[in-house]
Amino acid sequence: MPGLTLGDTVPNLELDSTHGKIRIHDFVGHGYAIIFSHPGDFTPVCTTELSAMAGYAKEFEKRGVKLLGISCDDVKSHKEWIKDIEAYKPGNRVTYPIMADPDRQAIRQLNMVDPDEKDSDGGELPSRALHIVGPDKKVKLSILYPACAGRNIDEVVRAVDALQTAAKHAVATPANWRPGERVVIPPGVSDEEARRKFPKGFDTADLPSRKGYLRFTECCG
Amino acid sequence: MPGLTLGDTVPNLELDSTHGKIRIHDFVGHGYAIIFSHPGDFTPVCTTELSAMAGYAKEFEKRGVKLLGISCDDVKSHKEWIKDIEAYKPGNRVTYPIMADPDRQAIRQLNMVDPDEKDSDGGELPSRALHIVGPDKKVKLSILYPACAGRNIDEVVRAVDALQTAAKHAVATPANWRPGERVVIPPGVSDEEARRKFPKGFDTADLPSRKGYLRFTECCG
């Protein structure tokens, strides 16, 4: 199935939401946003996920990241369901909007359709798709999970930290990186440039090829 | 850009690899496989990622999951580079094959193209795309990370555990689930059926809607 992928501009759709009409590009504004779908209101994994997203809302806010949910249920259903989500883990308040896409236009354009799930009328349902969108309205990172597997919100936060650190400092983050750990210097930066740019210096891994491409630095204190 | 997504069958391409010719469906066989791309050999983040995948190889093997790397570099380059990967973290042996896709046919068909990265000849380069493929050769879960952000292999292992637990026990896993934690009972299963199926019983969350859809059980001891 064709669909939105890394580097694509998210479609500038306007949809109803629990916070009124939302036009996606206006919502993203000049910051980052996470657009994430859930298969359906009043279903088990989705309740745990939207509660978890609510629990992490402050972490995302600190990073200038707005949250935007979406499913094919209507706004009235979302609003009723939010009572359940907030009762499930008291304290996790759903302060972010959830969009309604009964026509399936948005989930199709956002590459959020789950091919294995249908509603009782045979209509398409969303997967657990999540796109991190940058200030340029482009998809920076996507995770597509099926209905049966809830996401790991810690990893979403880590991914935001990695993307923002890379964008801000023109570095890259190694596998399993956590904030505070050393980052790597991208291949396009010469050693001379790197010495200027990273005053704390850098360590070049001693590898058989002797190409000197794996350079670690503590750039982002 | 159109591309492979959740639920699609992975194309049955044949490519050269560090282990000889590989036909993707034969490689997946009757188990699970993870097909993952890296932007380029002899680059920093990729070296940390392929080393990390090597370090987790036993964890994937325990779960019956085969690993299959791919980039647009040729097999000779991959083989030279593996010496660096293995020197970077001694003990992390690259026992999995890495495919060569100099023509870009595979990365295009596998939705692994990074729109922001080009090689010195202007050729397309892969993102850090990773697909978990099931025994039916279909994509069960995808993560698409850009060149600047290394993956979290712990999350890949967790995702495999979630998918396999769900498939084996016909349950679903809540947000942030870890093996050993309680799972949820899917909406299609009635309470009566659930009592038969999960002899240890289940707890239904007490939510304002009183719909009784959020049921936790310790199914998978």
Do A143 and A198 have their domain in common?
no
- The answer as to whether B30 is a domain residue is yes
Do B97 and B184 have their domain in common?
no
- Residue from B1, B4, B6 whose CB has the most chain A CBs within 10 Å, to mutate: B6
Per DSSP (E only), the strands in B16-168 are: 22-23, 32-37, 65-71, 98-100, 113-118, 124-126, 128-133, 139-145
User: In CATH, what number is assigned to the domain containing residue A92?
Assistant: 3.40.30.10
- The answer as to whether A158 is a domain residue is no
- Report d(CA B136, CA B86) in Å as an integer: 33
Do B188 and B88 have their domain in common?
no
Q: What is the pLDDT of residue A199?
A: 87
Do B105 and B187 have their domain in common?
no
Last residue of a domain, one of A149, A182, A197: A149
Do A31 and A80 have their domain in common?
yes
Are B68 and B35 within 8 A, CB to CB?
yes
Residue A65: burial class (beta carbons within 10 Å; 0-12, 13-18, 19+): buried
- Residues B176, A84: C-beta atoms closer than 8 Å: no
Q: What is the mean pLDDT of chain B?
A: 95
Last residue of a domain, one of B149, B178, B206: B149
B148 a catalytic residue: no
**Beta bridge mates, B145:** B128
- The answer as to whether A159 is a domain residue is no
User: In CATH, what number is assigned to the domain containing residue B194?
Assistant: 3.30.1020.10
Question: CA nearest A14: which of A96, A70, A67, A60?
Answer: A70
Last residue of a domain, one of A115, A149, A183: A149
Query: How does pLDDT run across B142-198, given as a tens digit for each residue?
Result: 999 999 999 999 999 999 999 999 999 999 999 999 999 999 999 999 999 999 999
Do A77 and A181 have their domain in common?
no
| A165 or B120, which is more confident | A165
| A82 or A200, which is more confident | A82
- The answer as to whether A157 is a domain residue is no
> Confidence band (pLDDT; 50, 70, 90) for B219?
confident
* Eight-state DSSP code of residue B116: E
- The answer as to whether A133 is a domain residue is yes
Chain B contact for A218, CB < 8 A? no
- Report d(CA A163, CA A115) in Å as an integer: 29
B190: containing domain: 170-217
pLDDT surpasses 70 at A2: no
- Residues B205, A158: C-beta atoms closer than 8 Å: no
Alpha carbon B153 to its chain centroid, in Å, reads 9
Domain count, chain B: 2
The ipTM of this complex is 0.96
Do B103 and B190 have their domain in common?
no
